[in-house]
Structure 1
Amino acid sequence: MLTIGEFAGVTGLSVKALRHYDDKGALSPADVSHPGGHRRYDEAQVRAGVLVKTLRDAGVPLPTVAAAVANGTAMEELQAHRRDVLRAREAEDAAFDRACAVLRALSVPVEVVEREMPAQAYVGRVLTLDPDGADPVVGDDEANVAFGELFERVQGAGLGPAGMFWTAMREGERGAVDLVCCWPTLARAGADWHEGDTIVGELPSRRELTAIWRASSADLPDGAVHPALVALFDRIGDRRMDMGGFEVRQSVVSAAGRDAAVEVSVTLAPHE
């Protein structure tokens, strides 16, 4: 039989690792002397020791290693572990690429201006975000469906639309956040529009703070916080403004001969 030091020398495992594997039941010695507790290994255990070291060096989890050695499935477990590693690596690469795209977008200068805006009637569809965070983001598909349905109704009623749509985020009930998909209308819609998740409102004549993003959004990952929103809150923070209960509005503005711009706004002061 081999002492623990001899077994370590033959298999390439450290004495510390062998003691750990014994404690975990992954590779136990053939004999432990009493008194003293000296571990001794059978020569036939060398193969198991080499398999344990080989699989652990490849990153296979210890419980899986123990099962593989016991069941004679070392190659199968190694291949399964490799598939898991490749999936994890692919996910990490995708996360890295996404992070790079977000950081590049955040480095693009954003114009932030104050401007006077006239009153604007609108109709909107309310999509409530989960207050518990189980479903924190309303998907683009859901918002697009809401915009499409609302557009058809506004057009059918002869109310416009009177311009480009916008989305607004506002505080909802019981800690929820509402995303409101809005179309500007030529006139204020009647009370009969207030049904279900459809609302009628009017943005008052106001002074607002607006961040304008004129770069291409093609490389901005889906679900990423828009750089214009970040720039707007940078300015709000610089001014030490208290924006509790605020409403943030985001719109896409097209201009002839120019790329579409994303505008994100908050009201500074409504006009009487």
Structure 2
Amino acid sequence: MRESTMDEKLSAGEFEALTGLTPKALRLYADRGILSPAWVDPVNAYRAYDRAQVRHGISLHLLRRAQVPMVELAKADDFDFEGRRQAVASQRLIEDFHLDVAERIAAFDPDDFVAHHSPAPALEWIGVVIDLGIPDDIDGRVEAFSGLAIDAPAVDRAFEELLTDVGAPPSDIVWTAVPEATRNGGGRMLIARPASPHRKPPTPELVQAHVRSRTGREVTATAGTLPRRLEITFTSAGPDDPGPVEEAALGYLHLLAFEHHLQQHQLTAIQATPRQLVRGASLLDGPAPISVFDAHPPAGL
């Protein structure tokens, strides 16, 4: 540290009063190399600052009040104010969107939804599980979901292609769901099709290798049985052309409608979340996916 004259030197207390920084903040910034004192007494460890550091200290105080992350404070002398404003504006848009969706959920009325029941027999199925790898940060999540929008249909096409190659008859439905074993994690997605009752399914190794060779994605092959069930869907008198908020809220609203329906009719869910079913040969064929909830059929059905 350079030598400071008495006229340039400020005690820690004086520096705190001028900048608005707290003793805790000054210690933290010193530990992280963001703002170090100009002088430290070797005997009593008292800290002192240059008057020339006041502007930097005030800037740090204001940036923290603006909720700038600690990791960005090291660049306070050359801070990207416009970039930060854009990030704040984007974050605000996201917050407003989620507030709007939450407000729509808070206004849920079960009478707005009509339930439709379809008894269905047991169904053997085969499928692939994609590890979504969704990170916690917003930018990472946007990037991951954008990639998934491309990868999931590609995986589905490769899966469909393999089943055709091994002689399985074409399927008229495909669905996606959260695998039961990882339902609480939410970090995986199942793509499933009915298994052919007349053909031996391809081995898991063959499925995984084929999808990897076509898409570069690692998947896990799996199979199971949908038990005899009551398939339940919901319709509502919503707008013909719903906006983004209504579309985002609809999945949650259907979950709430399903929970209400279970209680009203004393039904038991087979799984808590719905399958997103497409009536077509692939995820890109046919109409938009519909949410199908599965419940155990009532006695006598």
- The equivalences for 1:147-158 within 5 A come to 147-155=156-164, 157=167
Q: Structure 1: how far apart are the matches of 2:228 and 2:274?
A: 16
Contact 2:122–2:229 under 8 Å retained in 1: no
Distance 1:80 1:232 in 2: 49
Matching of residue 190 in structure 1 with residue 165 in structure 2 = no
Relative distance call for 1:222 and 1:22 in structure 2 (3 A) is: closer
- Match in the other structure for 1:58: 62
C-alpha RMSD of matched pairs (Å):
5.7
**Larger strand percent:** 1
| Structure 2 residue aligned with 1:124 | 126
Q: Which has the higher helix share?
A: 2
- Could you say what secondary structure the match of 1:159 adopts? coil
Query: Are residues 1:165 and 2:174 paired?
Result: yes
Post-superposition CA distance 1:48-104 (Å, at most 9, x none): 44x24642453268x99x98xxxxxxxx73432526633641441342254256447
1:264 aligns with 2:292: yes
1:219 is the counterpart of 2:222: no
| Counterpart-to-counterpart distance in 2, 1:160 and 1:101 | 42
- 1:250 pairs with one of 276, 298, 301: 276
User: Is the CA contact 2:174–2:192 (under 8 Å) kept in the aligned structure 1?
Assistant: yes
Mapping for residues 43-54 of structure 1, pairs under 5 Å: 46-49=51-54, 51-52=55-56, 54=58
CA distance in 2, matches of 1:243, 1:262: 18
Tell me, in whole angstroms, the C-alpha distance in 1 between the residues paired with 2:21 and 2:273.
Answer: 62
The count of corresponding residues between Structure 1 and Structure 2 is: 246
Taking a change above 3 Å as real, the CA distance of residues 119 and 140 of structure 1, as seen in their structure-2 partners, is farther
Alignment of 1:1-272 (within 5 A): 14=17, 17=20, 20=23, 24=27, 46-49=51-54, 51-52=55-56, 54-56=58-60, 58-59=62-63, 77-80=76-79, 82=81, 85-86=84-85, 88-100=87-99, 102-103=101-102, 106=105, 111-119=113-121, 121=123, 123-127=125-129, 129=131, 139-155=148-164, 157=167, 159-162=169-172, 164-172=173-181, 179-184=189-194, 188-196=197-205, 197-198=220-221, 203-212=226-235, 219=244, 226-227=251-252, 229-235=254-260, 238=263, 243=269, 248-252=274-278, 260=288, 262-269=290-297
- What is the distance in 2 between the residues matched to 1:48 and 1:218? 51
TM-score of the superposed pair, with normalisation by structure 2: 0.52
Deviation at 1:181, TM superposition (A): 1.3
In our comparison, the structure showing a higher alpha carbon Rg is 1
The letter of the residue matching 2:277 is: S
* Maintained 8 Å contact 1:232/1:264: no
Deviation of 1:233 after TM superposition, in Å, equals 5.0
- Equivalents in 2 of 1:260, 1:27: separation in Å? 59
Question: Greater RCO between the two (CA within 8 Å, min separation 6)?
Answer: 2
Aligned partners of 1:124 and 1:183 also within 8 Å = yes
